[in-house]
Structure 1
């Protein structure tokens, strides 16, 4: 019971960090390109992870065989997830992307049922759909004049959502076999290699390699990239892997919708964006869905145990 409480606390902390990361992403993008931002944030993540190992704060005990086993989840997230997302946003609007990515819990539910044999109640399934509906409602109301969908952009964002769902399922399985930091460390290395390779290739193509580290001379970018690299990449990977080691993938995935809600609240508080009635309505729907997903199964189990006790 205590472990479950810690897992939910980790999931909530993960959600808060992701929710507020949008502010720092916007700040970093005023100075650097999306690819450079991704490259630099995972470079910072890897440097901090290496420092933790060097100062013996965390022990690492993995072989080449272990790396091969862990590699698929690192490829799915962060490599494929962010790659598909970044290029997908080039061809589609943020509203369309938000709606498609809100379906991650549904994809996770399907994959977890098939590959992990996770069993969810009828009410949990309904609650996941309710949570997704809350996010979609907010995005639709926020931008009623959604641009015509570009099939290439939709496909890329859909692949991004599937990558996240695949990570939720694979990580749930591997967290029972490996230490949380081992998984996090390999994920961070892959992210660093993939995004630095993409960013450097882009600079070489455009003959702008000399500007690669130029963003670090900007104080605002430095603050933003430290948040994104240490908290929003390294810490969230650790927190999500920990949560997935204790609670079902379908329950964990629905917290991504709560992150969307926190992002909107942060925008109202720090960017002075307007709060409309549909934000409140959508927020209530999302919270109802999250509560239903994570606790309806527990209520059912409690009622079953009471019946057994009475029968005894």
Structure 2
């Protein structure tokens, strides 16, 4: 008899699908009139309003202890850099290429653990890291075509992966003291201030007559891949643990690339496909037992 998917499996698959689709949706938005920083400002501003409203409704407080303010400030800075990298990587590269690059996020998370002296990594990790970065190099070599983007887009993709990995490490201590929604409300709120200030010139020059399709997709990109997945991911972590949840999340980069190819009619050169395979192989070899926060967008 065929087994029905469990609730946690449905939550995980929904999360991975939304994360993957986000690259395609955001790329479409950026190629149909939205300037990168203006898009980040509107999207994160809407998300922050939702997170604050939910936190105040369910918890009645946004309070963060004074001893945790340093972690919050560091996490907010990394989210700010992450979003700058994300929107400009999507502008300069393709969604499929960025999806493959983001597959290296767990490697950066492990390296952040080494830097913070919270982890000692076995030799197999370093072998996996070499494989993954060799894959990134292949993707970069193949990204010189007009369709795929440029090397600058690949470097911004690496910035996106590295900053999200660092953010994941910084919020780990906070997760034991606050809910995911409170962390998101405070950290994303602080990051949004920096994004909004940086984007003032683009917001002023932005043409807001973008059509209902773009605005509908922006609402989806906010409420789905940014707000809903936050709740689903942390509930999954609570039920089955980070090791099993993250193993499933490793599917995201390849699903994201596939969706971009199908929905946006992007193309991947054979060398880029080979690079994506190497990135995935590196993650399998270097797979860690403890990962505490979701992969990047």
Q: Structure 1-normalised TM-score?
A: 0.67
Residues 1-312 of structure 1 aligned to structure 2 (within 5 Å): 14-29=15-30, 30-53=32-55, 56-57=57-58, 60=61, 62-63=63-64, 65=66, 66-67=68-69, 69-77=71-79, 79-86=80-87, 104-143=105-144, 160-204=160-204, 208=205, 211=207, 214-215=208-209, 218-237=211-230, 247=242, 258-274=251-267, 277-278=270-271, 281-294=274-287
Given that residues 39 and 192 in structure 1 are in contact (C-alpha distance below 8 angstroms), is that contact kept between their aligned partners in structure 2? Answer: yes
Question: Per-residue displacement from partner, 1:134-169 (whole Å, max 9, x unpaired)?
Answer: 34434433547999967xx89876655543332122
How many angstroms does 1:17 deviate by? 2.6
Q: Secondary structure at the match of 1:31?
A: coil
Return the offset for 1:27. Answer: 2.2
Cα RMSD after superposing both structures:
4.3
Hey, what's the Cα distance between the residues in 1 that align with 2:7 and 2:60? 22
CA distance in 2, matches of 1:185, 1:286: 33
Is this contact kept in 2: 1:116–1:173, CA < 8 A? no
CA distance in 1: counterparts of 2:7 and 2:118, whole angstroms: 24
Q: Which shifted more, 160-169 or 21-30?
A: 160-169
Distance in 2 (alpha carbons) for counterparts of 1:265 and 1:139: 18
Aligned-pair distance for 1:127? Answer: 2.5
Shift in Å, 1:11: 7.1
User: Which structure features the higher share of helix residues?
Assistant: 1
SS in 2 for 1:174: helix
Q: Counterparts of 1:174 and 1:116 in 2: how far apart (Å)? A: 17
Bigger Rg, which one: 1
Contact 1:129 1:289 in 2 (8 A): yes
For the residue of structure 2 that corresponds to 1:75, the secondary structure is helix
Task: Point out where structure 1 has 5 or more consecutive residues left out of the alignment.
Answer: 299-312
Aligned equivalent of 2:3: none
Unaligned runs of 5+ in 2: 1-5, 291-297
Distance in structure 1 (CA, Å) of the matches to 2:172 and 2:247: 11
| CA shift digits 1:18-39 (9 cap, x unpaired) | 3211221122121211111111
Shift of 1:222: 1.6
C-alpha distance after superposition, 1:185-204 (max 9, x if no partner): 11221243222333334445
Q: Deviations over 1:88-109 (max 9, x none)?
A: 788x7669x9598665444432
Q: What is the distance in 1 between the residues matched to 2:143 and 2:155?
A: 22
After superposition, the Cα gap between the structure-2 partners of 1:264 and 1:228, relative to the gap in structure 1 and judged at 3 Å, is: same
**Distance in 2 (alpha carbons) for counterparts of 1:100 and 1:279:** 10
Show CA shifts across 1:47-81 (max 9, x none). 32234245x3455452462555422212211x122
Q: Take 1:175 and 1:222, find their aligned partners in 2: how far apart are those partners?
A: 33
C-alpha distance in structure 1 between counterparts of 2:76 and 2:46, whole Å: 17
Task: After TM superposition, give the deviation of residue 42 of structure 1 in Å.
Answer: 0.9
Preserved CA contact (<8 Å) 1:128 1:254: no
